[in-house]
Amino acid sequence: MKLYPKQYQEKIGTKDNNQLQLTYEVEMMIKNEQELIAVLERIERLWGKLSEAGSIDNLRKLSEKVRMFEASRPEMCAQLSSRFGHLFTQEQQNKLFPKLMSWSGCNVLAIHWFEHYKIPSCGNLTPVELCQTGQAGVLLEYVDLIENGGFE
């Protein structure tokens, strides 16, 4: 049996524990319902904004294209190319470096990932180590898999 504070008893106007319990449960249901309604209203507003912009999938694709465009600018990928370009063909560089830049957002993080991130599904080798052992294709397959929502 739950005991209710004196202020709550005075607010409700009774000391009957059953009536207090019932009143409390009804108040909680109303509060939860109000919170649920507020959340649903926010979802409806967001859904409306997304509908105005087109489907969510189109919005996601547009966002990815913008990121890829930003990351593919020559000056953004130049440092990666000068540092790691010897490990890849030009075609591989054109495919990989813009993806890394779009994911990392800057050269420093992309370089750090390239030099230090050990990929469990590739024998815990770093991307640099994979390339140095002639497995640049494996790295590109891994990046494609991750980009498409795969796991290591």
The per-residue DSSP string of 101-126 comes to HHHHSSHHHHHHHHHH--BGGGTTB-
Q: Indicate the burial class of 100 (C-beta count within 10 angstroms; 0-12, 13-18, 19 or more).
A: buried
Going by pLDDT thresholds of 50, 70 and 90, the confidence category of residue 150 is low
Token pair belonging to 11:
């607010």
| pTM of this structure | 0.49
Instruction: Note the pLDDT tens digit of each residue in 26-72.
Output: 777 777 677 777 777 777 777 666 666 566 666 677 667 666 665 55
Residue 24 · residue 4 · CB < 8 Å: yes
Residues 6+ apart with CB under 8 A from 139: 96, 119, 122, 127, 130, 131
The per-residue DSSP string of 50-63 comes to HHHH--HHHHHHHH
Instruction: Note the pLDDT tens digit of each residue in 76-97.
Output: 677 788 888 899 999 998 888 8
- The per-residue pLDDT of the chain, averaged, comes to 77
